[in-house]
Amino acid sequence: MKRSIFVIISFLLVYSTLFCTGTAVFAEGEADPEALKTVLEEDSFYVQEGVYRELDTVKEASAGRLLSCFGNNAGSAYIVFSLPAAPEQDTSLGSEKLGWPDEIAAVYDDPAIENAPANPYFAPGGWEYKLRQDEVIVLIVPLPGECKYYSFINYIMFTEDKPGKNYQGLPGMFTVGNDTTGLYHPIFGSIGNSLNMTNIRHSGDSIFDTEAVIVIGANSDSMSRVVADLNKAGYDESMINLMPIPAGTYKMGLQKGGDTFSFLQRVSQATDQNAYRDYLDHISEHAVVYRVTPVSETPANPLPNETVIPRGDGIHEAAVLPNAEKNLETIREALIAAWSDDYDYEELTSEIAVPEGLTAYFTDFNAKGDNRDALYLMSPEFTLNSDEDFIVVYGVNHAKTGKALYANTVLYAKPMLNGVASIYDSLFEGSAVPWLGENTEDADAYYVYRLARTSEDDYTAVIPYSTGNEQGKYYGVDNLNPLVMAFRSYLDQTGTGASYYEVIYDRTIVFHKK
């Protein structure tokens, strides 16, 4: 108990020391990544540079280089590290046949020292990695231009298979690794809070087009040293963000069976699409990521699990929309009346789609890249049996009730969980009026949208085919392929995802031509 209290106090002291106001004591001149590298090396750290780049999961899967799209939020971008192996660690090798690149080899590899085993390989090499308990990752990153949402978050990516447990056929499970690395399965569960535009520390006056520094680690002493070195290299405390990994929870270390981690930046709904595309295309040139390893291993001083922002404010959407039940039933009956003569239909009820990260880790479940900034709902599985079949999604516009900064719905194809069509709340306005009537006072607090093979009005999203798709086969889906609808709501007024028990769940009707 005394040890636990000491760890928590140490953790808080690190934060209070780092995040005081004013200019850094050691800052001299303009901040510079090369100067930081020099300072770190003088402080007895090995410093290896990685790559920070966009990961288009649908593109990579379509090219045969990725085994899952992990429920990508179609229309939003993902950016990831590709880190080199740790000092004295074997390199994880890809496959020339499959187009899988090797992991970046470690710069520091003494032939006289026996190497730790390689990470279990998962394409693209280096975007999931083990961490020695005292290693630190430093990301110096330009923030995107004006957009609806961006965030950064750590993940537990893969964990070793439990002895005697059969993972074959379990939801979202597959195996990576071998006898040398150990056999692993995905967790892809978030670690702690995200950094997003509401809480990130950055240079300049704006949350857009400025710069931030993110420091990731599991050892309080290592992180303190690295932050002090950042100060010396000219990086002010006002732009430095700590993202702790609780070493007491996860299996840190380079040994066979150690957990692997990953990191994601999300960017959604940019105001200037050209600037957005330029940002993604050149992020690897402008961002710097260092893997920082003490030359002599630092004694363990683990950080505890981060205190996360509680979901919910106690106000249900039904309190904001007193006519919700009546209006939703009006929409439902109008939809069925419009098409039931020529179509059979199935009504699908949404359920919570994925657990949060720690729950996923302790229940051995694939969280598919969850983020506490979001609320995730999903329908049961269904199919489109012909080109005349279509889907209607409807419900409360959570962005209008204050339960979301933005909301969207995505059609996914299984088993790859590739997002093939996405509808954002910016398209919802006016969509419920034809079903509720123009005299309905709060019609824009609701939405109704179709997903079909062809567009017949302004409130239809087109479902592309997989066969013959010029972008790649996972940018679309063919008839009879299993499908699900997923619904996201990002950032309510509390600064995290809404409570699952304070929103009215979105609804799906699938119409099949008789």
Q: What is the mean pLDDT of each successive set of 10 residues along the chain, which is 514 residues long?
A: 36 43 40 96 98 95 88 94 96 89 94 95 92 98 98 98 93 92 97 96 97 98 98 97 97 98 97 97 97 97 93 96 96 98 98 96 96 97 98 98 96 96 96 94 96 95 97 97 98 95 98 97
The alpha carbon of 315 is separated from its chain's Cα centroid by a whole number of angstroms, namely: 27
Please give the structure tokens belonging to residue 257: 């069976």
Rounded to an integer, what distance in angstroms lies between the CA atom of residue 383 and that of residue 505? 21
Global model pTM greater than 0.75: yes
Q: Measuring CA to CA, which residue among 334, 450, 447, 339 is closest to residue 392?
A: 450
Q: What is the dihedral of CA 280, 286, 287, 293, to 10 degrees?
A: 140
Q: What is the dihedral of CA 465, 469, 475, 478, to 10 degrees?
A: 20
Please give the structure tokens belonging to residue 493: 């007024």
| SS3 labels along 26-68 | CCCCCCCHHHHHHHHHHCCEEEEECEEEECCHHHHHHCCCCCC
Q: What pLDDT was estimated at residue 154?
A: 98
Rounded to an integer, what distance in angstroms lies between the CA atom of residue 88 and that of residue 212? 30
Q: What pLDDT was estimated at residue 258?
A: 98
Rounded to an integer, what distance in angstroms lies between the CA atom of residue 339 and that of residue 334? 9
All residues at 6 or more sequence positions from 63 whose CB lies less than 8 Å from its CB, including other chains: 99, 472
